[in-house]
Amino acid sequence: MLSVTFLGTSAARPTVERNVSALALVREGETLLFECGEGTQRQMMRYGVSFALSDIFFTHFHADHFLGVIGLIRTLGLQGREEPMRLYGPRGAKKLLGQAMQLGVERVPFPIEIQEVKPGDTVEGRGRGKGEEYDIDVFATDHGGGSVGYAIREHERLGRFDPEKARVAGIPEGPLWGKLQRGEAVVLPDGRKVVPEGIVGEKRKGRSVVFTGDTRPSAAVVDAAKGADLLIHEATFGEEEKDRAKETGHSTAREAAQVALAANAKRLVLSHVSARYSISAEELVKEAREVFKETVVAKDGMEIDIPFAD
C-alpha cells in the first residue's frame, strides 16, 4: 500500500479551512512526513496519521513549512519516545532545526539526527528491507535558499510468476518456484536446467511520488517528475496573479500543469494555495486542467492512494 494524506494545504498562513504545509506518506505501514508547518501534530490526530514516524523531510525553511516540528517533538517526548528521529533538509538545516529543537524544552528525551541534503543526493537505507525497497531522491527546486524537493521511488518489483507454465514445464512447487521468480535458473531433480524466461514476466516498475515544496516551474522538477505516478506541485496562485507568482518564487496552477505535462506524470495534485482560494480552488483546477487533465487540488485531510500500474 502507498498513499499520501494532505495535512496542510494553505500557502504562508493557515485559514479556517486549511492549515499550513505538511504531508504524510504511508508505505507498507511506514509513515514519512514531508514538511511540518505550525499545528501539524493536531492535523495528524485529526486525520489519523501515526505518531510512530522516524523521518521528517523539509524542502526549505520558510516559517510555514517547519514551525510545527517544535511542538511535535515536544509531544513525542511527553509520550515517552525513545527511538531516534531523523530530520532532513537543505543547507542550514543543522543550524535552524538544531535551534528549533532547543525551544521550549529543557531536553529532548530521544536522539535527533539532522542531516543536510543537496540536489543529487539519495537518502537510502530506508523501508523494511532497509534500502531494498525504495529510495528518496533529492532534487533542486527554484525557490531560493537552496530549496529542494523529494522524489520517492520504489525499486523494480519481481516479474509475475506464471504457476501454470511452471507446472507444464514440470517444475515441482516449492523452493524452485521462488528461485525462478527471483530470476535465477534452476536445476530440476531429473537434471534439466530451466531458466526463468517464459515462466516469469518482465520486472515491473515501482511507483513514484514527487513532492516539490515551494518552487517556480523548473526544468529540474520536470526531470525529477519524469513518468511519476503522482506529482504534488505547489500552485500558490491563479493566472491573474502570474506576475506575483514570479516575484515571490511560486507557481500558478497552469505552470504546475505545464510541468506535469512536460514530465509525462500520471496525476497532478496542486497544493500550497493562497488564502484567496481557501474555500474554493475551482478556478485553479480549471486553469490547470486546460493543460493537464488529471489534476485535482488538495484539501486538508484528502487521502490519495497510488496503485501499481500493473
- Interface with Zn ion by CB under 5 A: which residues? 62, 64, 214
| Catalytic site includes residue 310 | no
Q: How many helices (H) and strands (E) does the chain have?
A: 10, 16
Q: What is the CA radius of gyration of the chain?
A: 22
C-alpha 264/C-alpha 227 separation (Å) is 5
State the minimum distance, in angstroms, from the CB of residue 56 to Zn ion.
Answer: 16
Percent composition of the chain: helix, strand, coil (DSSP 3-state, to 5): 25, 25, 45
Between 134 and 139, whose beta carbon lies closer to Zn ion? 139
Residue 96 cell numbers, joined: 535552524
- Which of 55, 64, 142, 300 does the annotation list as catalytic? 64
State phi, psi for 247 to the nearest 5 degrees: -65, -30
Strand extents, DSSP E, the chain: 2-8, 22-27, 30-34, 55-57, 85-89, 112-116, 122-126, 134-140, 148-154, 186-187, 193-194, 208-211, 230-234, 268-271, 295-297, 303-305
Altogether, the residues listed in the chain come to a count of 310
CB closer to Zn ion out of 55 and 64: 64
In angstroms, the CA 141 to CA 150 distance is 10
Find out whether 7 and 23 touch, Cβ atoms under 8 Å.
Answer: yes
Q: Please report how close the Cβ of residue 304 comes to Zn ion at its closest, in angstroms.
A: 20
The nearer residue to Zn ion, 196 or 249, going by C-beta atoms, is 249
CB of 171 to Zn ion, least distance (A): 56
Helical packing angle, 253-263 and 282-289, nearest 10°: 40
Rank residues 143 and 207 by Cβ distance to Zn ion and give the closer one: 143
Nearer to Zn ion, 154 or 214 (CB): 214
Rounded least distance, CB 214 to Zn ion, Å: 4
Nearest distance from residue 274's CB to Zn ion, in Å?
10
Which residues form the catalytic set?
64
